[in-house]
Structure 1
Amino acid sequence: MTATFFLVRHAAHDNVGNFLAGRTAGISLGEAGRSQVQRLGQRLRREDINEIYTSPRERTLETAEGIASACGASLLQTDDALDEVNFGEWSGKTFDVLDGDPLWRRWNTTRSLTRTPGGETMLDVQARIFGLIETLAGSGDGRRIALVSHADVIKAAVSHVLGLPIDAWPRFDIAPASLTTVVIGDWGAKVMTLNEVTL
């Protein structure tokens, strides 16, 4: 049994990097993001993807729809396991505001021991994303599946495959519209590509 997963971070919205979008409603792709989706779709056409699963956020749905259109994939499903980290009360706040919060500073130094205010831990995130991957991997040989999600969620999955602690998240990047490929078989799991960006 072998399954290939293409972990795709959503393309950019207009304010990426300025505030913590989290699960805030109504955040759609900007012009740059729509261009990224076109390039990403062309790149993924070469991968013979049979299924696409996506987080329910607008920016991930728009990214997934662009990939589906480019790849001729008709099966597009949302799954809460791919949703953004539940940042609770932090969602929608600017990073300038968050930098003044001691809990935010703790979150960024020891995520393994910190819960977001009214939300979840990164170990919760890792459990849900890898639970989905294990379920999908076990339901058929040769599946090639795109999972459209968010940076921290993808980092949690990659850390699990590589045997890294959840607090290793700053050691690698997951850029907007990037592609990370993971293959899972009876022999285990491997990261085949990390943070591939189509220019």
Structure 2
Amino acid sequence: MPTLILVRHGRSTANNSGVLAGRTPGVALDERGAAQAAALPDRLAGVELAAAVSSPLQRCRETLAPLLSARPDLPLHTEDGINECDYGDWSGRKLAELTDEPLMTTVQQHPSAAGFPGGETMRTMQNRAVEAVRSWNARIEEQHGPEAVYLMCSHGDIIKSLVADALGMHLDLFQRVSVEPCSVTAVRYTPLRPYLIRLGDTGDLGSLAPKEDGSGASAERDAAIGGGAGAS
């Protein structure tokens, strides 16, 4: 069965301003996100890709643009199943103002029970993403063979939920996974089980260092819904 490379989109204008973008149209990469995307072709150099699959949202398409420019023969497909979580009425709101919402406690501690007003449940999000991956695994294997490698560009919570599935981990534990902007996660699928072979790889260890204000990863209380902005 194929190996799947999951790329989270580069840092967006919404990430940079602390907004939960969701499926809000017109959310683009910011300057840092564009630089992250520009570095992606070199990071993936030497990896032969059978196909690239993208969430329909602009920030994912922009992330893949440099890679597609460097590999003009790489086919691009759009997949609704790996679209961002539908956060419904939460979309477009500041993350800081969502912290005190009662639902946030559920999102953090019992996400399998979380449903966003006017949007979807986190279970639905995971189920559709997993089904999309299973479908693409079969398609890629049929067209390119069991050793093929392909890429999907998607969103933080989608990728975290796919990692949880690959590890046989309950969705309620997926907030323990961190996936920064433009990070690379890889899962090798086999007939018996998936193997997680990369997780959230950015090639940059700067986010492990304490910040100038003395805070850092050790000070984080909650997982960043939507995936967060990554290291500054």
In terms of fraction of residues, the more strand-rich structure is 1
TM-score, length basis structure 1? 0.94
Q: Partner of 2:31 in structure 1? A: 31
**Structure 1 residue 31, shift from structure 2 partner:** 1.0
Aligned counterpart in structure 1 of residue 154 of structure 2, from 121, 127, 149: 149
Matches of 2:165 and 2:201, distance apart in 1: 19
Deviation at 1:95, TM superposition (A): 1.2
Report if aligned partners of 2:49, 2:74 keep a CA contact under 8 Å in 1: no
2:165 partner letter: H
- Paired AA for residue 56 in structure 2: P
Map 1:1-199 → 2, pairs under 5 A: 2-16=1-15, 18-139=18-139, 140=141, 141=145, 142-199=147-204
**3-state SS, counterpart of residue 8 of structure 1:** strand
Structure 1 residue 38: deviation in Å?
1.4
Q: Is there any run of 5+ residues in structure 1 with no aligned partner, and where?
A: none
Cα distance in 2 for residues equivalent to 1:132 and 1:5: 12
Name the TM-score, length of structure 2 as normaliser.
0.81
Of stretches 129-138 and 65-74 in structure 1, the one that deviates more from structure 2 is: 65-74
Let me know the Cα RMSD of the aligned residues. 1.4
Structure 2 residue runs of 5 or longer lacking an equivalent are 205-232
Work out the CA distance in 2 between the residues paired with 1:189 and 1:37.
27
Structure 1 stretches (4+) deviating beyond 3 angstroms?
A: 71-74
Q: Would you say how many aligned residue pairs link Structure 1 and Structure 2?
A: 198
Percent of aligned positions that are identical = 30
Deviation of 1:197 (Å): 0.3
8 Å contact from structure 1 (residues 9, 175) kept in 2: yes
User: After alignment, is 147-156 or 13-22 more displaced?
Assistant: 13-22
Instruction: For residues 46-92 of structure 1, give each alpha carbon's deviation from its aligned partner in whole angstroms, at most 9, with x where no partner exists.
Output: 21112001001110011122222233443111111110000000000
Partners of 2:153 and 2:47 lie apart in 1 by 15
1:49–1:145 CA contact under 8 A, matched in 2:
yes
The whole-number CA distance in structure 2 between the counterparts of 1:191 and 1:72 is 29
**Bigger CA radius of gyration:** 2
Contact 1:5 1:144 (8 Å CA) reproduced: yes
